[in-house]
Amino acid sequence: MRELDNLASHLEVLLKDVRGEAQKSNIDLLKIPSWLWGWQSPWKGRQNAGELLNEGENEVYHIAVRIREKFPDLFDEEYHSDTFVIKATQVPRASASAVAFGIGLFNGRGSLGAGKDRAFAVTSESRANDILLRFFDCCANYKEYLKNQAPAVEKLKEPILDEIMSALVSRYQLSFTRQDTASLWFLCKLEASLLDITGQACSLFTPSEILLLEWTDDLELFILRGYGNSINYLMGVPLLEDVFHSMEQAIMFKEENLIPGTYEKARLRFAHAETLIPFSCLLGLFLEGSEFEQIQREKPLELPPKPPQQRNWKSSMMAPFAGNIMMVLYSCPDKNSSKYFVQVLHNEVPLSMPGCDNKDFCPFDVFKERIVNVLLKPDYDSLCSAKLEVQEPKPSTSMLTQLYRSLFWQDGETQENKVEL
């Protein structure tokens, strides 16, 4: 949280200067929000940021409770580490999320304490080799792309930050800098999400300024994590392949009529926004119109349009705290055309897949042919090691003028489910 400590230091200087100037000119100190005087970061001096907070624990816990309620037959089965596989990255926040989720999922199913909790296993791969959940850390070409493009993204955001900076200076008579503006926006997001405070940093901005700042966040995410370059999401193909193979395995077990408890029924993964967003892109979520065909041809898309134009790509919706994706596989023997169907739930809400004609339930064969087989062509090692041609995101027309978890079975009345998060 060094950025906020630096902000506090600079605010102190600005306020001292304006107090001195007020004695010699007509500056109205009442225009300055009272909370700015003497403000210090709530996280002052904290060295270890990024741990899972109590609010996060509760949120993940209740997600697990809701999933168990939605699919009761699946989780009524006795726990075994081969039946309910739980994996997390080696980042403490991710493994803590896995534990909070497991406590909610298996609550009352054991003999530990008053809540009758039970022990369960959470496994991890080495950060250096985790190409399923931390593929962004293992992909040399992506890290090079990130290094090269990050400064350009900052440049892209500068006109908006400068515009809002000028408005803040005029509004509050403080000589804010571009960095102050960015830090105050960062503070706004932290106060709103972690402290439930919207009357301080967030109140400095007008609603239209907040929309523009959100858009700059979306631009950054789009270019560096999303559809702005195909390497952003193609490096997540090993995870898609793992999900797909687990579906094939589940179908095989179903066809062989294996006894429940003798095979894997849920594969639960706990990682990061940097994992979730590329995986969402592989599925073609949050696209506009015919853009799915473009990403399958590895073509860069136009940048998200500037407000007040509407857009599907919104980072606050795509990767909120405790964001999640579930892949749901249904067995529907009464259907004439297909026996198995795939459904995507993003943050527990069903979404249609463009690759499946925007249907909520995609026939498994169609999912395999139009999404998986097309995307499995790149080899991860080749993608991440070979010399790649750099793609440039396409500016939208308006910008040209401005600045340059789960697989589930369902059989008739009863359900046999396999879950993958």
Q: Domain map of the chain by residue range?
A: 1-47, 55-140+224-420
- State which H helix or E strand residue 211 sits in: helix 207-225
Q: Where are the beta strands (DSSP E) in 75-159?
A: 84-88
- What is the reported pTM? 0.87
**Predicted local distance difference test score (pLDDT) of residue 77:** 85
**Amino acid sitting at position 288:** E
What's the sign of the alpha-carbon dihedral 260, 263, 269, 275?
Answer: negative
Contact (Cβ atoms closer than 8 angstroms) between residue 321 and residue 193 = yes
In angstroms, the CA 121 to CA 27 distance is: 63
**Predicted local distance difference test score (pLDDT) of residue 28:** 84
Residue 233, C-beta contacts closer than 8 angstroms, at least 6 positions apart = 226, 227, 278, 279, 281, 282, 295
Alpha helix (H) residue ranges in 256-314: 273-282, 291-296
The CATH class of the 55-140+224-420 domain is alpha beta
Residue 183, C-beta contacts closer than 8 angstroms, at least 6 positions apart = 3, 4, 6, 7
Low-confidence ranges of the chain (pLDDT < 50): 396-420
Q: By three-state DSSP, how is residue 181 classified?
A: helix
